[in-house]
Amino acid sequence: MQTVLVTGGAGYVGAHTCLRLAEAGFLPVAYDNLTNGHEAFTQWGPLEIGDIRDPVRLDEVFAKHQPVAVLHFAALIEVGESVRHPDRFYDNNVAGALALIAAARRAGVDKLVFSSTCATYGEPQQMPMDETHPQAPLNPYGRSKLMVEQILGDLDRHSGFRSVCLRYFNAAGADFEGRIGEWHDPETHAIPLAIAAAMGANAGFKIFGRDYPTRDGTAVRDYIHVLDLADAHVRALRHLLDGGASEAFNLGTGTGSTVQEVVAAIAAVSGRPFDVADAERREGDAPALVADNHKARDILGWAPRYGLPEILSSAWKWHTEGLPALKSTTL
């Protein structure tokens, strides 16, 4: 059984990827400082507690587990926070990635799958967006991810360190068995916030902007099930292990849903209509963000299996059953 180091393996996407790695026959070792992750999410392999900026701890973990590759999720991700504290994002996301890469190279590991984002593209110039779209991020979060992509590109060209950069669109949904799902504090993502409103945990849900040039005036986003993301990471890992070249791939369904459509679908899934308030557009929000995923289909053989119904039903199950049960055993 091959061992893989998964930084941020106690977080949302990282934990779901550990699940899929274990199902695919790998041993995922989660490396996490538990700032945003949850120890209860590390159910498919050992947990090593540490920070990606700690070279001594990284060297210990690489020596102990001898992974064949790294899947790198550990990062700060909240866009608004990146605007308020850009230095923290560059320190954690860029300096942290450099420290991790250096430790991997000291251990003789030369393969890395990087959790990137469509935020590296910035304002959409075409729709859907493919991997040739210009990269001009609008905020420090997106710039920090692009910097790491550029570092990885230089390492590939000049030292043979190969990588796959996976540019997510909107990750959503949860494990269908309700074992893990989204658990952020504070929560900033639309689907969990709308579910909380349907559950009565929030006073209501805000729609930011109803005057976009879309089919109902609300913004369009490409929601991709977190297990489809996890599957893409396993395929990217195998691509590198099989000698594949460094690549970047978009991960989205290729089909966008409006915020209004998501709200209506959550009300239908839950059977609980909830209050919705209109608010002004937020600065930097694009009218639509939809992926062209043909490159991932062609090279990785990947295709999303789930759509919005499965995303919302699995998320509802998690927030109403899985998360309350997990909190009762861990808090």
- What does the pLDDT look like over 229-258, one tens digit per residue? 999 999 999 999 999 999 999 999 999 999
Residues in Cβ contact with 239 at an 8 Å cutoff, skipping those fewer than 6 apart:
164, 247, 299, 300
How much is the average pLDDT of 99-104? 98
Domain that residue 119 falls in: 3-171+225-252+292-304
Indicate if the pLDDT at residue 284 is higher than 80. no
Is residue 209 a part of any domain in this protein?
A: no
Residue among 86, 50, 85, 80 at smallest CA distance from 65: 50
Cα 315 to Cα 323: distance, rounded to the nearest angstrom = 10
Banded model confidence at residue 280, pLDDT cuts 50, 70, 90: very high
3-state secondary structure of 72: strand
Peptide bond before residue 186 is cis, with ω within 30 degrees of 0: yes
What pLDDT, on the 0 to 100 scale, is given for residue 77? Answer: 87
Is residue 156 a part of any domain in this protein?
A: yes
Is residue 203 a part of any domain in this protein?
A: no
Active-site residues: which are they? 141
Cα 87 to Cα 140: distance, rounded to the nearest angstrom = 9
| Structural contact between residues 163 and 305, judged by C-beta atoms closer than 8 angstroms | no
Structure tokens at 175: 């494990």
Among the residue ranges 93-97, 161-165, 266-270, the one predicted with the least confidence is 266-270
- Per-residue buried b or exposed e for 217-256, using 16+ beta carbons within 10 Å of the residue's own CB: bbbbbbbbbbbbbbbbbbbbbebbeeeeebbbbbbbbbeb
> What share of the chain in percent tops pLDDT 70?
100
DSSP 120: G
Is residue 216 a part of any domain in this protein?
A: no
Banded model confidence at residue 322, pLDDT cuts 50, 70, 90: confident
DSSP β-bridge partners for residue 167: 116, 250
| Pairing verdict, β 69-72 and 111-117 | parallel
Cα 190 to Cα 259: distance, rounded to the nearest angstrom = 8
pLDDT tens digits, residue range 16-65? 999 999 999 999 999 999 999 999 999 999 999 999 999 999 999 999 99
Query: 188 versus 260: which is more confidently predicted?
Result: 260
How much is the average pLDDT of 158-174? 97
Residues in Cβ contact with 218 at an 8 Å cutoff, skipping those fewer than 6 apart:
207, 209, 210, 212, 258, 259, 260
Indicate if the pLDDT at residue 330 is higher than 80. no
Is residue 64 a part of any domain in this protein?
A: yes
Kindly report the CATH number assigned to the domain that includes residue 128: 3.40.50.720
How much is the average pLDDT of 214-226? 95
pLDDT tens digits, residue range 287-299? 899 999 999 999 9
What pLDDT, on the 0 to 100 scale, is given for residue 80? Answer: 82
What pLDDT, on the 0 to 100 scale, is given for residue 27? Answer: 98
Is residue 9 a part of any domain in this protein?
A: yes
Banded model confidence at residue 331, pLDDT cuts 50, 70, 90: low
Cα 218 to Cα 199: distance, rounded to the nearest angstrom = 23
- Looking at the structure of the chain, the number of domains it has is 1
Is residue 13 a part of any domain in this protein?
A: yes
Banded model confidence at residue 82, pLDDT cuts 50, 70, 90: confident
Is residue 142 a part of any domain in this protein?
A: yes
